[in-house]
Structure 1
Amino acid sequence: MIVRIMGEGQFEVAETDLPALNDLDARLESAIETGDEDTFRGALRSLLDNVRKVGTALPADSLEPSELVLPPVDATIDEVRGMLGDEGLIPG
């Protein structure tokens, strides 16, 4: 699965890594619902760090279609709230 972190690049992430990403996504969603800025910042950072850790960065000149698009680390709660779907940022 190709995951794009806005403003950063694309990463190829194995399907087997999605459950861990979904857990982090749930933490992020919970922080958004409660409006807890500190928890939101930590959850977003953890989610993006995990994508970088488990994913393989694609070359900068690669233009693969992204299956998931994640916000940049400096995104606001309102920006991320606008990106949420029915299943959070990461479906599944």
Structure 2
Amino acid sequence: MSKGRDKALISARDRKLFERYYYWTEVKRLRFDDALQKLSSEEFFISEGRIMQIIRKMIREGEKVDGAELPAVGFNGFRVSPKAKCDARQLSLFP
């Protein structure tokens, strides 16, 4: 039996976090920073930086919510144009 956190549980948490982020930003039209704060302090109790890492990872992997892709999010919360070329190496420059 491996030590550490269960990867299936982490994956399920990340998926749920991504769905909740979609809900707050796309359905309820909450501002990006307000959605991050709500997810961090009221729903998942992890840092805003970690939430951003999870969201970026899910977007890079092409995850969808109800068949809709979430627009890419830059380091400062602004949406990134689909034509903008940004890879994992560039994203790693911003903690």
Scaled by the length of structure 2, the TM-score of the pair is: 0.35
Q: Could you say which structure has the larger radius of gyration? A: 2
Q: Which structure has more strand as a fraction of its residues?
A: 1
Scaled by the length of structure 1, the TM-score of the pair is: 0.36
More relative contact order, 1 or 2 (CA 8 Å, 6+ apart)? 1
